[in-house]
Amino acid sequence: MHQQFATVFVFMLLGLAFLFVSQIASKLLRPKNPYAAKQQSYECGEEPEGSPWIQFNVRFYLIALFFIVFDVEIIFMLPWAVVFNEMLGTVGPLAFWEMFTFVCVLLVGLAYVWLKGDLDWVKTIIARDDDELVNRGLSRYSSGDKLGKPGLGASEYV
Amino acid sequence: MHETLSNLPLLSGLPAQVLVVLAMVSAGGIILGCIAVGGMFFIWSERKVAGYIQSRYGPMYVGGWHGVLQSLADGVKLLLKEDIWPEKADKPLWRMAPLLVFLGAFLSFVVLPFGPNFVGANLDIGLFYVMATSSLVVMGVISAGWGSNNKWALYGALRGAAQVISYEIPLGLALLPVVMSTGSLNLGTIIQAQAGWIHNWHLLNPLFFVSFWIYVISSLAEVNRVPFDLPETESELVSGYHTEYTGMKFAFFFLGEYADMFVVSAIGVTVFLGGWYSGIPALDVPALFPLIFILKSFFLVFVQIWLRWTLPRLRVDQLMYVCWKVFIPIALANLLLYGVIRTVLS
């Protein structure tokens, strides 16, 4: 078994060697002519405007949080899945119903997040009047939630 | 493999430890060569398939027959290209990103079982290992986006990270019923459970059939292919997280992406499509195993290319809707249903 992991390690070293050798080969062959305009951040040919550390949608953080919960769940279930067959023989149906309970607890979490609307990427805003929409830079006919179904109000994109 | 090497007359006098290391290095060299050649082949075939789908020829000149050497010419071009680095980039992160993306794809190849004895490292946790190495790519994407110090790159990286981590969950859940059935994470053992006639393939088990489709669609999202190519979206984000890369660094991203396409296809073949078995016992001779495995994987790669030139791109909200509200509930229900059936039957 140790030898198998040693192979993985040797592969990693080989991969790194390949990366460095090809970078060095490229360094010896390629031209080098840097100047300030060339090294500007690319913004479609315009002068870069402001800082590139822009604000982005907070939902990216929420997705990362949900991911951790469910990924830990999968890691927890993998060893169980491997011994599932044996467990059915030794401890019987309990092997399954215990994991069933665990998954149900997690499903309650998923249902909670779902009902809170945190899985919706686009939040529908119920606007009082057209002025409020215009102030937010939106139109009454922007598409709403879920797969392009027209919303009641308007929606806000990333 | 080192037993084979010790039979060669030139190497017979060497001690066993040296032979073992030699075997590892040569296996790695072979796989590295296959990735480079295979990657170029996939890029060429993608351009040809794209051409024929759009009623044109694609590359026709370099290398004579149907432009077969076009990718090699492009590779040489990338090797000779000037390396332009953005002044404001976070240099260590920016330099590390293409290496991580390539290594993530390359390390997955170690466990791919091309035949019963034709595998780099026959790990008992093979499937788990592939899930882990494919997560390395996310780190590369995020460090590329953050290190480039560019708005397009940052948007692309955030979308890429959100997409890849989200789709990892249905992907993992889709593989679990098969693991429960075979009782092993070893890729070779999973294939051996599908020996014999074609009806033994996991694809043809009704519950695994659902898993297979969830796996195929989620794996498209994992490798950022259309219709899930939001991290790149050349029409809105220029080129996404690799906007600021040129020359060899760009080549590593490109090669890594195509190597990853092969990895997810090969895992799909291993887990659901009978791996190295042809489905007809008479054809299952060891000499044909690698060929069958590679042909099946190429077919899934072809499907990915085909979809790219057929489907339009999803929006971010549709992407998240499909993952969290469709795939995860279906995959969990499928898993529980499989468990209930097994428990009741036992």
Q: Does A148 or B311 have the greater pLDDT score? A: B311
pLDDT band at A147 (very low <50, low <70, confident <90, very high): very low
pLDDT at position A110: 86
Residue B268: pLDDT band (50, 70, 90) is very high
Residue B198: both structure tokens together: 């074609």
Sign of CA dihedral B131, A104, B228, B44: positive
Instruction: Give pLDDT, residue A52.
Output: 74
Residue A118 has pLDDT above 80, yes or no: no
pLDDT, average across residues B98-123: 84
Determine the Cα–Cα distance for residues B242 and B262; give it in Å rounded to an integer: 21
Task: Verify that A108 and A130 share a domain, yes or no.
Answer: no
| Domain annotation covers residue A130 | yes
The 3-state DSSP class for residue B9 equals: coil
Domain ranges across chain B: 1-80, 86-345
Over residues B208-213, the mean pLDDT reads 90
Band (B330; pLDDT cuts 50, 70, 90)? very high
CA A49 vs. chain centroid, Å, equals 27
Looking at the structure, tell me whether residues A116 and A62 fall in a common domain: yes
Residue bearing tokens 């890429």? B160
Query: Is the pLDDT confidence value at B71 over 70?
Result: yes
Contact B212, B140 (CB under 8 A): no
- CB-count burial class (<10 Å; 0-12, 13-18, 19+) for B73: middle
Q: How confident is the model at residue B267 (pLDDT cuts 50, 70, 90)?
A: very high
Burial (CB count within 10 angstroms: exposed 0-12, middle 13-18, buried 19+), residue A55: exposed
Chain B residues near residue A26 by CB distance under 8 angstroms: 79-81, 83, 247-248
Average pLDDT over residues B20-28: 79
- A116 and A77 in a single domain? The answer is yes
Answer whether residue B220 shows pLDDT above 70.
Answer: yes
**pLDDT of A156:** 45
Contact of B203 with B273, CB cutoff 8 Å? yes
Token pair, residue B316, equals: 């971010």
CB-based contact A11 B121, cutoff 8 Å: yes
- Check: CB of residue B74 under 8 Å from CB of residue B43: yes
Two tokens, residue B140: 């590369």
User: Rounded to an integer, what distance in angstroms lies between the CA atom of residue A11 and that of residue B105?
Assistant: 12
B44 vs A37, more confident: B44
Taking alpha carbons only, the member of B219, B307, B323, B311 closest to residue B262 is: B219
Least confident range of B12-26, B64-78, B109-123, B157-171 = B12-26
Q: Is residue A43 one of the residues assigned to a domain?
A: no
**Predicted local confidence at residue A151, as pLDDT:** 42
Do A136 and A82 sit in the same domain of this protein? no
The pLDDT value recorded for residue A125 is 54
> Which residues from chain B sit within 8 angstroms of residue A120, using beta carbons?
317, 321
Measured between beta carbons, which residues in chain A are less than 8 angstroms from residue B155?
Answer: 54, 56
Q: How confident is residue B162, by pLDDT bands cut at 50, 70 and 90?
A: confident
> Is residue A95 included in any domain, yes or no?
yes
Section B144-167 average pLDDT = 85
Q: How many domains does chain A have?
A: 2
Nearest to B109 by CA among B100, B98, B121: B121
Average pLDDT over residues A109-120: 83
**Rounded mean pLDDT of B226-244?**
78
Contact (CB<8Å) A103/B336:
yes
Let me know whether A67 and A109 are in one domain: yes
SS (H, E, C) chain A: CHHHHHHHHHHHHHHHHHHHHHHHHHHHHCCCCCCCCCCCCCCCCCCCCCCCCCCCCCHHHHHHHHHHHHHHHHHHHHHHHHHHHHHHHHCCCHHHHHHHHHHHHHHHHHHHHHHHCCCCCCCEECCCCHHHHHHCCCCCCCECCCCCCECCCEECCC
Residues, chain B, total? 346
Domain limits at A139?
Answer: 122-158
| Residue from B293, B269, B296, B270 nearest B185 by CA | B270
Which residue is associated with the tokens 């997690």? A106
Q: Which of A18, A81, A88 sits opposite B346 (nearest CB)?
A: A88
- The reply to whether A16 falls in a domain is no
Q: Which two tokens stand for residue B72?
A: 């090699």
Mutate to test the interface with A, among B129, B324, B325, B330 (most CBs of A within 10 A): B324
Contact assignment for A107 to B103 by CB distance below 8 Å: no
**pLDDT at site B70:** 86
Do A127 and A155 sit in the same domain of this protein?
yes
**Looking at the predicted structure, is the pLDDT value of residue B263 above 50?**
yes
- Give the dihedral of Cα atoms A103, A108, A111, A116; nearest 10 deg: -140
User: How confident is the model at residue A138, as a pLDDT?
Assistant: 58
Is the pLDDT at B248 greater than 80? The verdict is yes
Letter string b/e over residues B189-228, b meaning 16 or more CB atoms within 10 A of that residue's CB: ebbbbbeeeeebbbbbbebbebbbebbbbbbbbbbbbbbb
Q: Are residues A62 and A116 in the same domain?
A: yes
B214 vs B210: CA distance, rounded Å: 6
Mean pLDDT of B56-70: 83
Q: Measured between alpha carbons, how far is residue B262 from residues B101, B115, B131, B163, B297 in Å? A: 14, 16, 14, 19, 7
- Residues sharing a CB contact under 8 Å with residue B54, sequence separation 6 or more, in sequence order: B309
pLDDT at B212: 92
User: For position B125, what pLDDT does the model report?
Assistant: 87
What confidence score (pLDDT) does residue B265 get? Answer: 92
Alpha-carbon distance values, B313 to B39, B230, B234, B304, B307 (Å): 24, 8, 11, 14, 11
The overall average pLDDT reported for chain A is 76
Residue A81: count of CB within 10 angstroms of its CB: 23
Chain A (117-156) residues lying within 8 Å, Cβ to Cβ, of chain B? 119-122, 145-148
Cβ-defined contact of B165 to A32 (cutoff 8 Å): no
- Is A19 in contact with B103 (Cβ distance < 8 A)? yes
pLDDT bracket for residue A94 (50, 70, 90): confident
Does residue A7 lie in a domain region? no
Domain presence at residue A44:
no
Name the most confidently modeled range: B6-10, B22-26, B28-32, B133-137. Answer: B133-137
CB contact under 8 A, B85 and A34: yes
> Is residue B280 over pLDDT 70?
yes
Say what the pLDDT of residue B11 is.
Answer: 64
Place of tokens 């020829």: B57
Average pLDDT over residues B14-30: 77
Q: Does A18 touch chain B (CB under 8 A)?
A: yes
Task: Give the C-alpha distances (Å, rounded to integers) separating A15 from A3, A53, B101, B103.
Answer: 18, 33, 11, 6
Query: Does the structure's ipTM exceed the value 0.90?
Result: no
In a domain, A88, yes or no: yes
Do residue A87 and residue A68 come from a single domain? yes
Residue A139, pLDDT > 60, answer no
Nearest CB neighbour to A85, from listed B85, B102, B183? B183
Cβ <8 Å between B342 and A43: no
pLDDT at position A141 is 52
* Mean of per-residue pLDDT scores for chain B: 84
Region B93-117: what's the mean pLDDT? 86
What is the distance between the alpha carbons of residues B115 and B179, in angstroms, rounded to a whole number?
20
Say what the pLDDT of residue B343 is.
85
Among residues B144, B76, B77, B146, the alpha carbon closest in space to that of B104 is found at: B144
Cβ separation of B318 and A77 shorter than 8 Å? no
CA pair distance B255, B238, nearest whole angstrom: 19
Q: Of B332 and A39, which is predicted with more confidence?
A: B332
Mean pLDDT on B238-242: 79
Cβ proximity of A111 and A105 under 8 Å: no
The reported pLDDT for the residue numbered B75 is 84
Stretch B119-136: mean pLDDT: 85
- Whether A128 and A158 share a structural domain: yes
